[in-house]
Amino acid sequence: MTTDQQARPDGRGLRQSMSDLHTWVGLLLGWVLYAMFLTGTVSYFKDELSQWMRPELPAQSGVPDQAVVAQRVADELVALVPGSPQWSLRLPDARNNSVYAFWRTAGAAPGQRGFGEGNFDPATGQTVSSRATLGGDFFYRFHFQFHYMPVVWGRWIAGVAAMFMLVAIVSGVITHKKIFVDFFTFRWGKGQRSWLDAHNALSVFGLPFHAMITYTGLVTLMALYMPWGQQAGIKTAADRQQLNAELSAFIQPGKPSGEKAPLASIEDMVRHAQERWGRDGVGRVTATHPGDAAARVAVARGDGGRVSMSPQYLEFEGTTGKLLAVHEGVGPAAETRGVLYALHLGRFSDLVTRWLYFLVSLAGTAMVGTGLVMWTVKRRQKLPDPARPHVGFHVVERLNIASIAGLSVAMAAFLWANRLLPETLAERANWEIHSFFIVWALTLLHGVLRPAKKAWVEQLWLAAALLALLPMLNAATTQRPFWRSLADGDWVFVGMDLMCWALAALHAVLALRTLRHQPKTRPARKTVNKPAGGAVLREG
Amino acid sequence: MTSVAGRVRRFGPLVSRIAAALFGGYALAALASVAVLALPMSTPQAVLTGEMASFLVYAAAVLWVFAVRSALRAWAGLLVVAAPLLLAAWSVW
């Protein structure tokens, strides 16, 4: 410390600079980051959430034969979208009981949406007859592109927020002098110090994860954020194709021959891939110009069983089923990117790893949340008149309520909307999403109108109640109540009900603690106390 | 008038640092991502390496900007690093 201070005549050490940086970088986009962290955290169970949100689809007892399913859905797509220049289907696996497919529409006029998508039943090949919902994909998409705005804007906001987070993490570590010792320090019921200790423990415990998830998040969209190298180095279509092959198993449609020819057996092609990657190891089948003599089919490996998202796929001639090429390796940088990407998504993980991901990510969410709350706790003590805080304090306090407690309420409301909105409602899937945002806006209104503490307690109780009652709502509105799921060994539904109760308990505990909390309103710390007080602040 | 001048003197360096961090940092990161193309490796690998490294360069630049003693030093540091990167980037653009 002393050397720092000697080097700086104004008496501001490196640690103090980093502390200020940490505080303001963390605050400025903290609310955005909190929402990204929480919706991203639940996205580790997005496939399970999607299953829960489509209760009409029966629980999957085992993974069906992917080769048979691929043929079935491919036949359906050939009939459904004839002349499509490209379609791609994601095969069912241990976590997905439906086949998600998307396709380009033939001859879409400029300005028209050139894509279609749908979910198909693996058992029949038909479009699934479940309620219209985006399912867990809503939280997943929201966590990196938000909503009600062009996708690119949302992704840029997420990128800026992630960059702020990266800076906040590194400056936080520099700020934090006794990072190891303080991990074992917890001062309960000591106001600001308890918040600081909680923030430190949550941060340090998951530090490698938080740093990894933030950095890898940027890597997932790096071509958008840093396009300059590509613009400088990739000049021709061939260059572009070469780069693309390093990143993605989606083969791009070339020129059709114009000569009609049916696709060869997709089942045989997938069988071929199964021999290579195992029975459930196939991820995706993509066809370009199906029905044309120039058709190509790519059968890509799934995300499970390997910690990399780099493309591995077999390329077949569409009309004969002849294996044209095996793509199983990419360059070192592309492989690094594949691993970083996979680490972010965590799709390789088994059940235990997935839960670990979820819990540490939840700790990351709490890290952002405690940091936001600490900003107000620290400043409330120094307010000249705690009953009449200045505008900045007021804004932060109210935004904290809506973005932390309010988000829980809104997310629970989204699930309630899934069970309550009539199936015949036009734009039903969108109305689930509108419900989420309407409720979230109401929590902000409530947070502004009510006294701060009451608003916190009421919203936490509301979230607890919505979560606790969700299994009851599920029992009342579907054929899959808790007891039946348990009897049938339907672990997705059992897990969802248990999770709701666990999260309800968590919110109830937070509500009770907030209710009992007595803020210490002491006057601003005297400058005489500076050495001791300063040390704490510096670490905050 | 004097209060405006006082304000500029007080907040000017901070605003300058924030600009250095946000825009200077991004420019440096972008420059680094292009400069990587000068390395002896295939173009797709270099492009990806540059993209992945750029965020670390950006983060380091921001920390530098707020760690040094003055706004002037912050900008100077960025420029010193930018010069060789600019040369390398120039050679491949």
Per-residue confidence (pLDDT) for residue A162, from 0 to 100: 97
**Backbone CA torsion sign across A372, A375, A381, A384:** negative
Nearest to B43 among A215, A234, A332 (CB): A234
Inter-chain touch A334–B44, beta carbons under 8 Å: yes
Residue B20, chain A, CB below 8 Å: the answer is no
In a mutational test of the B interface, the residue from A8, A230, A234, A242 whose CB has the highest number of chain B CBs within 10 Å is A230
Nearest to A163 among B41, B58, B67 (CB): B58
Q: Which amino acid is at A218?
A: L
For residues A492 and A48, the answer to whether their CB atoms sit within 8 Å is: yes
DSSP state string for A447-504: HHHS-HHHHHHHHHHHHHHHHHHHHHHHHHHSS--HHHHHHHT-HHHHHHHHHHHHHH
Residue A335, chain B, CB below 8 Å: the answer is no
Inter-chain touch B45–A334, beta carbons under 8 Å: yes
Inter-chain CB pairs, A–B, below 8 Å:
106
A162-166, A489-493, B5-9: which is most confident: A162-166
Nearest to B45 among A21, A232, A331 (CB): A331
Per-residue confidence (pLDDT) for residue A465, from 0 to 100: 98
Cα B13 to chain centroid distance, Å, stands at 17
A244: left (phi over 0), alpha (psi -120 to 50) or beta: alpha
Inter-chain touch A226–B50, beta carbons under 8 Å: yes
Per-residue confidence (pLDDT) for residue A110, from 0 to 100: 61
State how far residue A394 is from chain B, nearest Cα, in angstroms: 24
Q: Of A195, A198, A507, which is closest to residue A380 (Cα–Cα)?
A: A195
Interface of A with B in 360-379 (CB under 8 A): none
Inter-chain touch A332–B66, beta carbons under 8 Å: no
pLDDT band at A130 (very low <50, low <70, confident <90, very high): confident
The rounded mean pLDDT for chain A is 88
Inter-chain touch A229–B34, beta carbons under 8 Å: yes
Judge whether residue A321 has pLDDT over 80: yes
Per-residue confidence (pLDDT) for residue A8, from 0 to 100: 44
State how far residue A337 is from chain B, nearest Cα, in angstroms: 8
Residue B71, both tokens = 């706004």
Residues forming beta bridges with residue A287, ordered by sequence position = A87, A297
CA distance B92 to B40: 12
CA distance A489 to A103: 35
The ranges assigned to domains in chain B are: 2-92
When pLDDT is averaged across residues A170-180 and rounded to a whole number, the result is: 80
Q: What's phi and psi for A292, nearest 5 deg?
A: -110, 155
CA distance B58 to B18: 13
Among A200-209, A316-325, B27-36, B51-60, where is mean pLDDT lowest? A200-209
Residues of B in contact with A166 (CB under 8 A): 55, 58-59
CA distance A55 to A430: 18
Q: Cα Rg for chain A, rounded, in angstroms?
A: 26
CA distance A350 to A323: 31
Residue A213, chain B, CB below 8 Å: the answer is no
Per-residue confidence (pLDDT) for residue A366, from 0 to 100: 93
Per-residue confidence (pLDDT) for residue A380, from 0 to 100: 82
A282-316 pLDDT, tens digit each: 999 999 999 899 999 999 999 888 899 999 999 99
Residues forming beta bridges with residue A86, ordered by sequence position = A288
Q: Which amino acid is at A490?
A: D
- Cβ-based neighbour number of residue A61 at 10 Å: 10
Judge whether residue A530 has pLDDT over 60: no
pLDDT band at B2 (very low <50, low <70, confident <90, very high): low
DSSP state string for A95-155: TB-SEEEEEEPTTPPTTS--EEEEEE-TTT-SBP-S----TTHHHHHHHHH-SSS-HHHHH
A333-348 pLDDT, tens digit each: 999 999 999 999 999 8
Between the alpha carbon of residue A491 and those of residues A101, A355, A474, A525, the distances in Å are: 26, 14, 15, 54
Residue A266, both tokens = 């997709």
State how far residue B39 is from chain A, nearest Cα, in angstroms: 12
Residue B51, chain A, CB below 8 Å: the answer is yes
Residue B45, chain A, CB below 8 Å: the answer is yes
Sheet holding A99-104, edge to edge: A115-120, A99-104, A86-90, A282-288, A296-301, A313-317, A323-327
Cα B68 to chain centroid distance, Å, stands at 14
Q: From A223, which residue of chain B is nearest by alpha-carbon distance?
A: B51
Per-residue confidence (pLDDT) for residue A109, from 0 to 100: 63
Burial of A506 (0-12, 13-18, 19+ CB in 10 A): middle
Among A129-133, A209-213, A222-226, A279-283, where is mean pLDDT lowest? A129-133
Between the alpha carbon of residue A100 and those of residues A40, A117, A121, A422, the distances in Å are: 21, 7, 9, 23
For residues A284 and A91, the answer to whether their CB atoms sit within 8 Å is: yes
Cα A255 to chain centroid distance, Å, stands at 37
Inter-chain touch A229–B42, beta carbons under 8 Å: no
CA distance A501 to A324: 52
Angle at which helices A428-449 and A452-477 pack, to 10 degrees? 150
Judge whether residue A539 has pLDDT over 80: no
Residues of B in contact with A174 (CB under 8 A): 63
Inter-chain touch B43–A246, beta carbons under 8 Å: no
Q: Which amino acid is at A254?
A: G
Per-residue confidence (pLDDT) for residue A108, from 0 to 100: 65
A332-389 pLDDT, tens digit each: 999 999 999 999 999 988 889 999 999 999 999 999 999 999 888 888 878 887 777 7
CA distance A130 to A128: 6
Residue B15, both tokens = 């605003």
Residue A215, chain B, CB below 8 Å: the answer is yes
Burial of B49 (0-12, 13-18, 19+ CB in 10 A): buried
Residue B22, chain A, CB below 8 Å: the answer is no
For residues A373 and A379, the answer to whether their CB atoms sit within 8 Å is: no
A518: left (phi over 0), alpha (psi -120 to 50) or beta: beta
Judge whether residue A435 has pLDDT over 70: yes
Q: Which amino acid is at A366?
A: A
In a mutational test of the B interface, the residue from A228, A231, A308 whose CB has the highest number of chain B CBs within 10 Å is A228
In a mutational test of the A interface, the residue from B18, B22, B51, B68 whose CB has the highest number of chain A CBs within 10 Å is B51
Among A256-260, A296-300, A494-498, B6-10, where is mean pLDDT lowest? B6-10
B40-87 pLDDT, tens digit each: 999 999 999 999 999 999 999 999 999 999 999 999 999 999 999 999
The ranges assigned to domains in chain A are: 13-54+133-226+349-382, 66-129+246-336, 387-518
Nearest to B48 among A14, A163, A333 (CB): A333
Between the alpha carbon of residue B19 and those of residues A79, B12, B80, the distances in Å are: 57, 11, 17
Residues forming beta bridges with residue A323, ordered by sequence position = A316
Per-residue confidence (pLDDT) for residue A534, from 0 to 100: 34
Between the alpha carbon of residue B10 and those of residues A17, B4, B70, the distances in Å are: 16, 10, 13
- Cβ-based neighbour number of residue A84 at 10 Å: 21
Inter-chain touch B55–A215, beta carbons under 8 Å: yes
Residues of B in contact with A228 (CB under 8 A): 30, 33-34
Residue A42, both tokens = 């639940």
pLDDT band at A112 (very low <50, low <70, confident <90, very high): low
Residue A173, chain B, CB below 8 Å: the answer is no
Residue A81, both tokens = 């979208």
Inter-chain touch B44–A246, beta carbons under 8 Å: yes
